[in-house]
Amino acid sequence: MAYTPQFYPGSTSVGINRRKHMSGNVEKLRDIPEADVVAIMGHRAPGADYSSTHPPLKEMGEPDCPVRQVVEPTAGAAAGDRIRYSQWTDSMYFAPSIPYFRSYWGAINCKGCDPGTLSGRQIIEARERDIEDYTKTQYDSEMTDVALCSMRGCTVHGHSLRLEENGMQFDMLARTEMGNDGNVYQVKDQVGIPLDKKINLGKPMSEAEAKKRTTIFRFDGVPMGGKVGARKFDEAIEMTHHMWERRSKWGYRPE
Amino acid sequence: MVTASDTASLQVEITPQRYLTPATAQKLLNEIYSNGGVARIMIHGPNLPRTIPYGPGKGTPIDENKDLLIEVAGQAFELSVKVGRVRLELESEEYMPGLKAACERALPFSFQIKRGKFFHTRPTLSDYAKYGDVEDKRILGLIDPKAKKDKLAILSEEKVTIEDEER
Amino acid sequence: MAVKHTKKLFVKALNKKFGKDFDLASQKTEYKRLGPEQNVRKREFMEYAKKLEGKRGMTGYNPYVHAGGIPLGQRQLVPYKLSSTEYVVEGDDLHFVNNPAMQQFWDDIRRTIVVGLDMAHEVLQKRLGKEVTPETINNYLEILNHAMPGAAVVQEHMVETHPGLVDDCNVRVFSGDDALADEIDDQYKIDINKMFPEDQAESIKAAIGKTTWQAVHIPTIVVRTCDGGTTSRWSAMQLSMTFIDAYNMCAGEAAVADLAYAAKHAAVLQMSDMLPARRARGPNNPGGISFGYMADMVQTSRVKPQDPVYVSLNVVAAGSMFYDQIWLGSYMSGGVGFTQYATAAYTNDVLDDFSYYGVDFASDKFGGFAKAPATLDIAKELATEVTLYGIEQYESFPTLLEDHFGGSQRAAVLAAASGITSAIATGHSQIGLAGWYLSMLLHKESWGRLGFFGYDLQDQCGPTNVFSYQSDEGNPLELRGANYPNYAMNVGHQGEYAGITSAAHAGRMDAFAVNPLIKVTFANPGLVFDWTNIRDCFGKGGAREFRAAGERSLVMPAV
């Protein structure tokens, strides 16, 4: 390809990290075993067969469609998996990832994924074995901090709340807990059903590291627009101005 | 000279930098109580449900939110919220410096104390629906309208100092 | 820190409940389930609560607090202060089903119709050769105010409505013609010169010209039993009967048809536009009320014109409650509703703070209100500044972020402040709207989140339509409404758009936003809701201080 995508503007750490997330060039920080990821997602027991909504595509036979011929089905689609989901809640207090950027990551880097973006949660839906794959990638990468991000299928309240004393994001259903060893343990699946065993997710980032890896602009981190009385616009603002102005003028079409 | 502002009651809100564990909440509330001059007190924070409220796991017990029993001023009660804010009415200005010191002793992180008006004085529709004609106006604003009966604790009026507690 | 609990404090309770000794000694702070401490007071509570239970049909709870105890309560929701008022109420008190003031707000709109008088007078004079003088008009109005609530004026053996049920019904007349207005009996007129500041009165009279109109408000109880479609018809019935009586016509003579046609159609101003089939409600429905009309209904502009922010915020409160809680939250859905999407915009002084900041900033820079050029650059500068300021407030004050715990709430508040600022600074509603959209886009880039799933659909495609005048795309904001194509689905926008509309005109010190007839009609002191101070009145409703009309207790047995 002659063209290299730019993904996102800005020369601060926030801009750089946003480009990392969007491009998928994120650092791997941990290795959560696949079976554990599956257990946390809660859609099937680890090791169990996948449920299907239709027979494998090869058995079914597909209509004669040029698009289908050009596009390789994902593993999940080929097998006929049901669509399942992973949903994340990211704290506004310097979680590495933020909802739209999880969605961008999914849309750009993950085939066959349907991202949904809200403020208190972000969801990706895909064929079951595909979403397991994508979830593990997210879990292992710097997109996720185990104290400030959590998988929550319901009762998501917490992104806009102050942190707990131990630095964890508040969770009404207590799906994760901080162990005495300083590691964060997943004790329930994403909808709050207790797991058979606790899963060690590892140590959370320090405050300094979270601030370094975050993609959120904040006045006590990297502000997007400087401060009151001392405005300094990040390129993200200039980009937004440019886009908004063009959109507004295009509708007018003075010519 | 005693001025009106010296003797008038005042309302404050304490906002710690973090949400409190039950142990820290207990410590803070006891320190506040020991400082004296508290007319009424309200703790606020997100609900801690005892079972999963909805979703595929609905009804599953949440053990982490049970047995959150704390003891303040000789009264034991269960915490049903994660303590994030404490609003209270002090009898007079003289208790303010002590209140700040109490917070400093109890909280290992920063906090803000704000003055204002935090308890409403006119009973609202919800108050009428819950209590009928309100007898004791101190109750206004203290509890959620939908609270079940054991969300109100009555702290002893007799001062219990830290030395009195057996530790 | 290890805390060792003594047996003295707990064991009695434990033994009572579980009948055995629990070991509480522990190296950690660990809490076991011990059950509530049984005491005399709690038993009293429960007994008293049971007494009230039977009476009110719901679980009551009356904590009778002994004078000697310090009460300690736990809450998950903080109460809400109605912005710029002293009223503090619970969230439930602001659900429209619980709040009689909010209900009366919508009842007042639904029961209102504006009917011109000149056409009828022409018919009387030209077709019937009858004299129309101030004396005949006053006589007509006296009879009309008797008839409109549902009393007979022409026929015998008529059954009538009970006056005690319909005493909120009234008709008042207004005119841009001072000479005529002077001749009308005070009790039957809306005196533009009295109700409005001088400059606004002049402007309104010039706009209305030498025409005369009737502000008709049929009984609340009628629109609660029937619907808004009843209003123009009920009104036309009684208007026609009154003409017959007042001008000694033969009941049913041919000319009556002209009067009826004028009263029902030709000289009628509905409160709302028609909706397409799948959203269809009767006339005078909420979905068809334009933002300009909402801005004109709210009367704050005539009592505090020197403070355009205050004026706009009252319109935001009116619009958010009306469009989000009643229209989208009930007509278009229902159940728990959308209360907290709306309350974010009219409680706890948050929007007030952001808006005053913005308008002060703009005012300092441009030398007052409506002084900045109406350009995209101004919207860019002001919306950026206000949005960044607001974001910083949410970041600096964690409890503010927690009170507006939802992204949609924050988005609506930030964008409303940006839009109101841009509109007041330029006096131009489209610039205000452009500022609103920029705020949404900046907010999204800053925090990587915005509102609920689909919240910002209209905000992403909105900028293209601000200045477009192609059908189904563009429209001055004054003429857009809840059913403008992209606005129709989602909460957290419509009320604020009404606020931005009003801001542009308040910044220019205009007497009205789009329709002087609406402005004057809602200045009628005979309305039950307090249209000059929206948030105060909502607060009264929540504080059990507001008496709504349409009460039926008169005709029902006592409880």
This prediction has a pTM of 0.91
On chain A, the residues whose CB falls within 8 A of the CB of C437 are 244, 248
A186 bridge partner residues: A176, A199
At C76, list the tokens: 């998950």
A82 and A191 part of one domain = yes
Asked if A13 contacts A212 with a C-beta cutoff of 8 angstroms, the reply is yes
Q: Please name the member of B77, B84, B126 whose beta carbon is closest to the beta carbon of C93.
A: B126
- Taking CA–CA distances from A187, the nearest residue in chain B reads B64
Which residues of C are identified as catalytic? 155, 341, 454, 490
Chain C residues 350-379 with CB within 8 Å of chain A: 376
A28 and A49 part of one domain = yes
Question: A42 — contact with chain B (CB < 8 Å)?
Answer: yes
Residue type, A45: A
pLDDT confidence of residue C73: 92
Cα separation, A176 vs A170, whole angstroms: 10
Distance from CA of C438 to the nearest CA of A (A): 6
CB-based contact B135 C31, cutoff 8 Å: no
On chain A, the residues whose CB falls within 8 A of the CB of B55 are 153-155, 191-192
CB pairs under 8 A between B and C: 196
A178 and A251 part of one domain = no
Q: What's the CATH number where A122 sits?
A: 3.90.320.20
Burial of residue A41, with CB atoms counted within 10 A of its CB: 0-12 exposed, 13-18 middle, 19 or more buried: buried
Helices (H), C209-284: 220-225, 229-246, 254-261
Cα separation, A250 vs A255, whole angstroms: 10
A179 and A239 part of one domain = no
pLDDT confidence of residue B49: 93
Question: A45 — contact with chain B (CB < 8 Å)?
Answer: no
Mean predicted confidence (pLDDT) in C124-129: 95
pLDDT confidence of residue B67: 85
pLDDT confidence of residue C32: 36
CB pairs under 8 A between A and C: 121
Quick one: which of A221, A238, A244 has its CA closest to A98?
Answer: A221
What percentage of chain C exceeds 90 in pLDDT? 79
Helix axes C339-346, C494-507, angle to 10 degrees: 20
Handedness of CA C489, C495, C498, C499 (dihedral sign): negative
A156 and A255 part of one domain = no
CB pairs under 8 A between A and B: 67
Quick one: which of A177, A119, A169, A175 has its CA closest to A148?
Answer: A169
Cα separation, B47 vs B142, whole angstroms: 15
Which residues have CB under 8 Å from B94's CB, separation 6+?
A: B6, B37
Residue B63 has pLDDT above 90, yes or no: yes
Asked if C314 contacts C293 with a C-beta cutoff of 8 angstroms, the reply is no
Say which DSSP state B20 is in. Answer: P
Residue B4 has pLDDT above 90, yes or no: no
Residue B163 has pLDDT above 60, yes or no: no
Asked if C358 contacts C385 with a C-beta cutoff of 8 angstroms, the reply is yes
Query: In order of start, what are the domains of chain C with their CATH numbers?
Result: 111-271 (3.30.70.470), 290-518 (1.20.840.10)
Question: B108 — contact with chain C (CB < 8 Å)?
Answer: no
pLDDT confidence of residue C41: 46
* Neighbour count for residue C177 (Cβ, 10 Å): 15
Residue C487 has pLDDT above 70, yes or no: yes
Quick one: which of C167, C298, C285 has its CA closest to C221?
Answer: C167
Helix axes C350-366, C376-396, angle to 10 degrees: 140
If DSSP states are collapsed to H, E and C, what string results for C78-108? CCEEECCCCCEECHHHHCCCCCHHHHHHHHH
CA angle C482, C486, C488 (to 5 degrees): 35
CB-based contact C447 A220, cutoff 8 Å: no
CB-based contact C33 B129, cutoff 8 Å: no
Which chains reach chain C with 3 or more Cβ–Cβ distances below 8 angstroms? A, B
Name all contacts of C255-264 with Cβ < 8 Å and 24+ positions apart.
C255/C123, C255/C124, C255/C127, C255/C128, C258/C123, C258/C127, C259/C120, C259/C123, C259/C124, C260/C236, C262/C115, C262/C116, C262/C119, C262/C120, C262/C123, C263/C115, C263/C120, C263/C235, C263/C236, C263/C239, C264/C232, C264/C233, C264/C236
A228 and A154 part of one domain = no
On chain A, the residues whose CB falls within 8 A of the CB of B20 are 165
pLDDT confidence of residue C40: 52
Cα separation, B72 vs B160, whole angstroms: 9
Distance from CA of B27 to the nearest CA of A (A): 14
Question: A220 — contact with chain B (CB < 8 Å)?
Answer: no
Provide the pairing of β-strand C112-116 with C268-269.
antiparallel
Mean predicted confidence (pLDDT) in C276-282: 85
Residue C82 has pLDDT above 90, yes or no: yes
Domain that holds residue A235: 223-255
A251 and A146 part of one domain = no
Half-sphere exposure of C202 (CA within 13 A, CB side): 3
The residue among C9 and C470 whose pLDDT is bigger is: C470
CB-based contact A218 C448, cutoff 8 Å: no
At C477, list the tokens: 């904001």
Cα separation, A133 vs A1, whole angstroms: 26
CB-based contact B65 A174, cutoff 8 Å: yes
Looking at the 3D structure of chain A, how many domains does it have?
A: 2
On chain A, the residues whose CB falls within 8 A of the CB of B109 are 165
Question: B48 — contact with chain A (CB < 8 Å)?
Answer: yes
The residue among C38 and A34 whose pLDDT is bigger is: A34
pLDDT confidence of residue A140: 98
At A9, list the tokens: 């503007």
Distance from CA of A66 to the nearest CA of C (A): 32
Per residue in C207-241, pLDDT (tens digit) is 999 999 999 999 999 999 999 999 999 999 999 99
Question: B53 — contact with chain C (CB < 8 Å)?
Answer: no
Quick one: which of C281, C343, C406, C271 has its CA closest to C96?
Answer: C343
* Neighbour count for residue C151 (Cβ, 10 Å): 17
At A15, list the tokens: 């801009």
Chain B residues 123-162 with CB within 8 Å of chain C: 123-132, 135-136, 138-139, 141-157
pLDDT band at C61 (very low <50, low <70, confident <90, very high): very low
Provide the pairing of β-strand B38-44 with B85-90.
antiparallel
SS3 state at C470: coil
Question: B118 — contact with chain A (CB < 8 Å)?
Answer: no
Q: Please name the member of A158, A177, A193 whose beta carbon is closest to the beta carbon of B57.
A: A193
Of B78-82, C33-37, C134-138, C343-347, the poorest mean pLDDT is in C33-37
Cα separation, B148 vs C345, whole angstroms: 30
On chain A, the residues whose CB falls within 8 A of the CB of B46 are 157-158, 161, 170, 172
Cα separation, C410 vs C444, whole angstroms: 11
Q: Which helix (H) or strand (E) holds A149?
A: strand A149-151
CB-based contact C70 B39, cutoff 8 Å: yes
Q: What is the ipTM of this complex?
A: 0.96
Residue C28 has pLDDT above 90, yes or no: no
Give backbone dihedrals phi and psi of C88, rounded to 5 degrees, phi first. Answer: -125, 125
pLDDT confidence of residue B15: 97
Alpha carbon of residue B143 to chain centroid: 10
Whether residue A48 lies inside any domain: the answer is: yes
Rounded mean pLDDT of chain C? 89
Provide the pairing of β-strand B38-44 with B69-72.
unpaired
pLDDT confidence of residue C274: 86
pLDDT confidence of residue C299: 98
Q: Domain spans of chain B?
A: 4-119
pLDDT band at C445 (very low <50, low <70, confident <90, very high): very high
A107 and A197 part of one domain = yes
Give backbone dihedrals phi and psi of C536, rounded to 5 degrees, phi first. Answer: -60, -45
A189 and A117 part of one domain = yes
What percentage of chain C exceeds 70 in pLDDT? 88
Residue C39 has pLDDT above 70, yes or no: no
Q: Please name the member of C9, C72, C79 whose beta carbon is closest to the beta carbon of B153.
A: C72
A171 and A188 part of one domain = yes
Residue to mutate among C9, C74, C559, with most B CBs inside 10 A, is C74
CB-based contact C463 A98, cutoff 8 Å: no
Asked if C548 contacts C220 with a C-beta cutoff of 8 angstroms, the reply is yes
Mean predicted confidence (pLDDT) in C259-276: 92
The CATH label, of 3.10.580.10, 2.60.40.60, 3.30.420.40, 3.30.70.100, for the domain at B4-119 is 3.30.70.100
A172 and A236 part of one domain = no
pLDDT band at C336 (very low <50, low <70, confident <90, very high): confident
Q: Please name the member of A165, A174, A191 whose beta carbon is closest to the beta carbon of B55.
A: A191
Distance from CA of A139 to the nearest CA of B (A): 22
Of B27-41, C181-195, C330-344, C540-554, the poorest mean pLDDT is in C330-344
Chain A residues 131-170 with CB within 8 Å of chain B: 153-155, 157-158, 161-165, 170
Q: Please name the member of B18, B60, B62 whose beta carbon is closest to the beta carbon of A165.
A: B18
pLDDT band at C282 (very low <50, low <70, confident <90, very high): confident
Alpha carbon of residue A54 to chain centroid: 28
Per residue in B114-149, pLDDT (tens digit) is 999 899 988 999 999 888 887 788 888 898 887 766
A216 and A228 part of one domain = no
pLDDT along chain A (255 residues), means of 10: 90 98 97 98 97 96 94 96 98 98 98 96 98 98 98 96 97 97 97 97 97 98 95 97 96 80
pLDDT confidence of residue C3: 37
b/e sequence C239-271, b meaning 16+ C-beta within 10 Å: bbbbbbbbbebeeeeebbebbbbbbbeebbbbb
Chain C residues 435-474 with CB within 8 Å of chain A: 437-438, 441-442, 444-453, 463-468, 473-474
Q: Tell me the helix, strand and coil percentages in chain C, rounded to 5.
A: 55, 5, 40
pLDDT confidence of residue C279: 85
On chain C, the residues whose CB falls within 8 A of the CB of B42 are 72-75
pLDDT confidence of residue C33: 35
Looking up tokens 């009898």, which residue turns up? B91
CB-based contact A193 B56, cutoff 8 Å: yes
Looking up tokens 């909706």, which residue turns up? C275
b/e sequence C105-128, b meaning 16+ C-beta within 10 Å: bbbbbbbbbbbbbebbbebbeeeb
Question: B167 — contact with chain C (CB < 8 Å)?
Answer: yes
Q: Please name the member of B18, B55, B56 whose beta carbon is closest to the beta carbon of A163.
A: B18
Quick one: which of C218, C215, C216, C97 has its CA closest to C165?
Answer: C218
